[in-house]
């Protein structure tokens, strides 16, 4: 799998990089014969621009500093901006999030050291029914979204860290010979959970709900930290580091990665790069919030490819409400002319469906019922 550069033409990397760094338009993934990873640079002009967009990107940047400092009026002002972004883009960057950069760096380092182990050591921790452990290379296929017709396994391997608060659930299993791995990843997990919780009032106000609406519904959240490794491989047709998909989450928090590769699909159906903006997080709305809000907050398709001649790691944190929380349509997102569009499932039920659809491990065992 480690077969060197992926676009056989060395010019591809050179022509792709400047555009990718500028968040420009990519070719549709679904077009089987489209040139991949080096499309013509062209803007549709239809992409919604917002006043807070960074200099080189159409994905807005939201400053959380004022609201986290408790500045008067900041919650309402930031929530109004968040509402606009979630209704039109579904992806944003946040700055002044409060997560120490040293912890982010240490977590990337832990991910790299985990994946550098011999395959045998990783396979000893193979994914279990609680969706915890090691997901081997090319053993997940993005099926649950209807976004691409040809579905090949994703060109990545991953390790999942689950919450440790519930003694009834199997505990995380840890590698024996990756020093500090457990401590670092659990510390990062706790930091991510705290950040997501601090953001809940923003999402509540953005949806015209009382500021504490989500608090009790997310006090034992069904979150998961994923440590993904995208090796530098030669992609074939319809192959991706991770194929076009939407996240199942309420929100996903993705630490900035020194190696770019994330791309999002605009409402106009074009793929754009999410450029690296140091010190920020990428945050996106997932399917849970999309369903809960009756489609009002977008769950935007995205994908990742590793165009670099070196390994790429990603450490997304998928945040969900409590498993028993009902996703019955939020009261501010429906009226007589806009009836609920999605079943009032619980988060756990929705997650079980999503997981069974996407992970070969669970497809082989349709009776699996773990809720992560
Ligand atoms: O690798 C990335 O940048 C994004 C990964 C992603 O979308 C996911 O794991 O759901
Ligand atoms: Fe994702």
Atom of ligand 1 nearest to the CA of 316: 9
| CA–CA gap between residue 301 and residue 286 (Å, rounded) | 9
| Bridge partners of residue 314, in order along the sequence | 228
- In our burial notation (b when 16+ CB lie closer than 10 A, e otherwise), range 71-92 reads eeebbeebbebbbbbbbbbbbb
Q: Whose CA is nearest to atom 8 of ligand 1?
A: 316
297 φ, ψ to 5°? -95, 125
Q: In which domain, by residue range, is 162 found?
A: 61-363
Q: Which two tokens stand for residue 277?
A: 């903006």
Same domain, 38 and 163: no
Which listed ligand is nearest to 261 at the C-alpha?
1
| CA–CA gap between residue 48 and residue 58 (Å, rounded) | 8
Q: Which two tokens stand for residue 40?
A: 């013509």
Which listed ligand is nearest to 242 at the C-alpha?
1
Same domain, 4 and 136: no
Atom of ligand 1 nearest to the CA of 257: 3
Same domain, 31 and 81: no
| The pLDDT value given to residue 190 | 96
| CA–CA gap between residue 93 and residue 64 (Å, rounded) | 10
Same domain, 43 and 65: no
Q: Which residues surround ligand 2, an ion (CB under 5 A)?
A: 247
As for how many domains the chain has, the answer is 2
54 within a domain of the structure (yes/no): no
256 φ, ψ to 5°? -60, 140
| The pLDDT value given to residue 21 | 24
205 within a domain of the structure (yes/no): yes
Which listed ligand is nearest to 285 at the C-alpha?
2
Atom of ligand 1 nearest to the CA of 252: 10
Atom of ligand 1 nearest to the CA of 241: 1
Residues with CB under 6 A from ligand 1: 226, 228, 242, 247, 254, 261-262, 302, 304, 314, 316
Same domain, 76 and 42: no
| CA–CA gap between residue 242 and residue 15 (Å, rounded) | 22
Integer-rounded Cα radius of gyration of the chain: 20
CA-based end-to-end distance of the chain = 29
107 within a domain of the structure (yes/no): yes
Q: Whose CA is nearest to atom 9 of ligand 1?
A: 316
Q: What is the ipTM of this complex?
A: 0.99
How do the pLDDT tens digits run along the chain, 372 residues long?
A: 333 333 222 211 111 222 222 232 222 222 222 223 322 222 322 223 333 333 334 899 999 999 999 999 999 999 999 999 999 999 999 999 999 999 999 999 999 999 999 999 999 999 988 888 999 988 777 765 566 665 788 889 999 999 887 767 657 999 999 999 999 999 999 999 999 999 999 999 999 999 999 999 999 998 999 999 999 998 888 889 999 999 999 999 999 988 999 999 998 889 999 999 999 999 999 999 999 999 999 999 999 999 999 999 999 999 999 999 999 999 999 999 999 999 899 999 998 888 777 655 555 554 322 222
Whether residue 281 contacts residue 71, with contact meaning beta carbons closer than 8 Å, is answered with: no
Give the CATH number, domain containing residue 128: 2.60.120.330
Same domain, 339 and 191: yes
| The pLDDT value given to residue 11 | 16
Atom of ligand 1 nearest to the CA of 318: 10
Same domain, 187 and 230: yes
| The pLDDT value given to residue 273 | 94
Same domain, 281 and 239: yes
Helix%, strand%, coil% for the chain, nearest 5: 30, 15, 55
262 φ, ψ to 5°? -80, 135
Same domain, 34 and 174: no
What is the 73 CA–ligand 2 centroid distance (Å)? 32
Same domain, 27 and 104: no
| The pLDDT value given to residue 144 | 53
Same domain, 197 and 314: yes
Same domain, 14 and 143: no
370 within a domain of the structure (yes/no): no
What is the 282 CA–ligand 1 centroid distance (Å)? 10
53 within a domain of the structure (yes/no): no
Whether residue 115 contacts residue 122, with contact meaning beta carbons closer than 8 Å, is answered with: yes
What is the 262 CA–ligand 1 centroid distance (Å)? 7
Is pTM beyond 0.90? Reply is no
269 within a domain of the structure (yes/no): yes
Residues written for the chain: 372
368 within a domain of the structure (yes/no): no
Q: Whose CA is nearest to atom 7 of ligand 1?
A: 303
52 within a domain of the structure (yes/no): no
| CA–CA gap between residue 145 and residue 263 (Å, rounded) | 16
């Amino acid at each position: 799998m480690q077969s060197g550069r992926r676009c056989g033409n060395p010019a591809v990397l050179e022509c792709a990089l400047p555009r990718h760094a500028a968040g420009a338009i990519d070719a549709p993934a679904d077009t089987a014969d489209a040139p991949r990873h080096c499309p013509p640079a062209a803007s549709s002009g239809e992409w919604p621009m917002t006043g807070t967009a960074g200099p080189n990107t159409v994905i807005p940047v939201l400053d959380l500093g004022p609201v986290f400092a408790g500045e008067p009026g900041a919650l309402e002002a930031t929530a109004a901006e968040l509402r606009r972004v979630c209704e039109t883009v579904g992806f944003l960057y946040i700055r002044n999030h409060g997560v120490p950069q040293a912890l982010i760096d240490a977590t990337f380092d832990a991910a790299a050291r985990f994946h550098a182990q011999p395959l045998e050591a990783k396979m000893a921790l193979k994914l279990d029914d609680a969706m915890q452990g090691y997901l081997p290379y090319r053993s997940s296929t993005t099926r649950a979204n209807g976004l691409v017709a040809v579905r090949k396994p994703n060109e990545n391997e991953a390790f999942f860290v689950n919450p440790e608060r519930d003694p009834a659930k199997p505990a995380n299993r840890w590698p024996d010979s990756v020093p500090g791995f457990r401590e670092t990843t659990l510390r990062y997990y706790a930091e991510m959970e705290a950040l997501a919780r601090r953001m809940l009032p923003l999402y509540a106000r953005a949806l015209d709900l009382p500021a504490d609406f989500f608090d009790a519904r997310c006090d034992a959240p069904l979150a998961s930290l994923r440590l993904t490794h995208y090796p530098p491989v030669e992609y074939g047709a319809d192959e991706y580091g991770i194929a076009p998909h939407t996240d199942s989450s309420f929100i996903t928090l993705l630490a900035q990665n020194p190696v770019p590769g994330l791309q999002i699909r605009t409402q106009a159906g074009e793929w754009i790069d999410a450029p690296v903006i140091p010190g920020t997080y990428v945050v996106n709305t997932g399917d849970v919030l999309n369903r809960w809000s009756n489609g009002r907050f977008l769950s935007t398709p995205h994908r990742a490819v590793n165009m670099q001649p070196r390994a790429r790691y990603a450490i997304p944190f998928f945040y969900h409400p409590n498993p028993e929380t009902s996703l019955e349509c939020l009261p501010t997102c429906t009226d007589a002319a806009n009836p609920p569009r999605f079943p009032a499932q619980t988060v756990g039920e929705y997650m079980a469906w999503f997981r069974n659809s996407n992970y070969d491990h669970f497809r082989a065992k349709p009776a699996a019922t773990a809720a992560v």
